[in-house]
Structure 1
């Protein structure tokens, strides 16, 4: 199964990421099929550049984005935003 996910690059404590298409069983920084773009969460505002045409191509072939990539792609209107998980209510909150 193919995934569109983030591959970490950058120095220690200064992460930046490449958006890649990889087999779901491959390690995070292992082999990949294609680089689709890059993401840097440390810049202000965050940098996210992507080849939208290639993303649409891989999505049509059945690749599924990771949760973080799906959120980034939803800001560009390429996929629907995944629902956010909510923390369960605690006993203190309920009284």
Structure 2
């Protein structure tokens, strides 16, 4: 079974918001899903994203592939960077005690440009 992390459309016409779900790649966009991991509302200025980062990393490590939009949301929230750091811990390149410090410096550097 191929898993995808994708957006599920909710709301009314011309006023959509989305939930971020893990689903089978063959199920329909608004159909059955396995797990709900977040929320995305592009109608607000600035847009609003609520995301369970630990669930997202867990599903990525299990092999779920994010769609392009979800991948960009993960990048902005630091999910992909945290997954990268955790892979370094698993391989013995990075110490567990350094994780929080590295993520904190990444967030500070990201805020300079966005």
Q: Equivalent residue for 1:13?
A: 14
> Following the alignment from structure 2 to structure 1, what is the Cα–Cα distance between the partners of residues 18 and 28?
14
CA offset at residue 75 of structure 1?
A: 0.6
Aligned residues: 80
Runs of 5+ unmatched residues, structure 2: 82-114
| Structure 2 residue 49 is the aligned partner of structure 1 residue 48 | yes
What's the CA shift for 1:21? 0.2
* Cα separation, 1, equivalents of 2:6 and 2:29: 8
Q: Which residue of 2 aligns with 1:31?
A: 32
Residue in structure 1 matched with residue 72 of structure 2 by the alignment: 71
Cα RMSD for the two superposed structures = 0.9
CA–CA distance in structure 2, aligned partners of residues 35 and 78 of structure 1: 16
Instruction: After TM superposition, give the deviation of residue 28 of structure 1 in Å.
Output: 0.3
* Greater percentage in helix: 2
Bigger strand share: 1
* Stretches (4+) displaced over 3 A: none
Contiguous gaps of at least 5 residues in structure 1:
81-95
Q: TM-score, normalised to structure 1's length?
A: 0.81
